[in-house]
Chain A
Amino acid sequence: GQNIDQPTEMTATEGAIVQINCTYQTSGFNGLFWYQQHAGEAPTFLSYNVLDGLEEKGRFSSFLSRSKGYSYLLLKELQMKDSASYLCAVTDSNYQLIWGAGTKLIIKP
Chain B
Amino acid sequence: DGGITQSPKYLFRKEGQNVTLSCEQNLNHDAMYWYRQDPGQGLRLIYYSQIVNDFQKGDIAEGYSVSREKKESFPLTVTSAQKNPTAFYLCASSIPSLVTGELFFGEGSRLTVL
Residues of B within 8 A of A87 (CB): 42-43
Contact with B along A41-61 (1 / 0, CB 8 A): 111110010100000000000
| Partner pick for A31 among B41, B98, B106, CB 8 A cutoff | B98
Q: How far is the CA of A96 from the CA of B103 in the complex (A)?
A: 12
Q: Tell me if B's interface is mostly helix, strand, loop or mixed.
A: loop
- Contact across chains for B107 and A91 when beta carbons are under 8 A apart: no
A97-B45 contact, Cβ under 8 Å, with A41-B107, A42-B107, A44-B105:
yes
Give chain B residues whose Cβ lies under 8 Å from the Cβ of A97: 43, 45, 98, 103
Give the residues in chain A near B40, CB-CB below 8 Å: 8, 101
User: Contact: A45 with B102, CB < 8 Å?
Assistant: yes
Contact B98 A42 (CB under 8 A): no
Complex contacts, B102 vs chain A, CB 8 Å: 33, 45, 48
CB of A23, distance to nearest CB on chain B (Å): 14
CA distance A28 to B28 in the complex (A): 29
CA–CA, A41 and B97, complex, Å: 25
Min distance, Cβ B95 to any Cβ of chain A, angstroms: 12
Q: Which of A44, A48, A102 interacts with B42 by CB under 8 Å?
A: A102
Interface range on chain A (Cβ under 8 Å from partner):
20 to 34
Contact partner of A99 among B43, B98, B105, B110, CB < 8 A?
A: B43
Interface code B38-54, partner A: CB below 8 Å = 1, 0 otherwise? 00111111000000000
Report the bound CA distance from A44 to B104 in whole Å: 7
The answer to whether A4 has its CB under 8 Å from any CB of chain B is yes
* Interface of A toward B, CB cutoff 8 Å: 4, 8, 30-31, 33, 35, 40-45, 48, 50, 87, 89, 91, 95-102
Q: Top 10 nearest A-B pairs by Cβ distance?
A: A99-B42, A42-B105, A45-B102, A99-B43, A101-B42, A91-B98, A95-B98, A42-B107, A100-B42, A43-B105
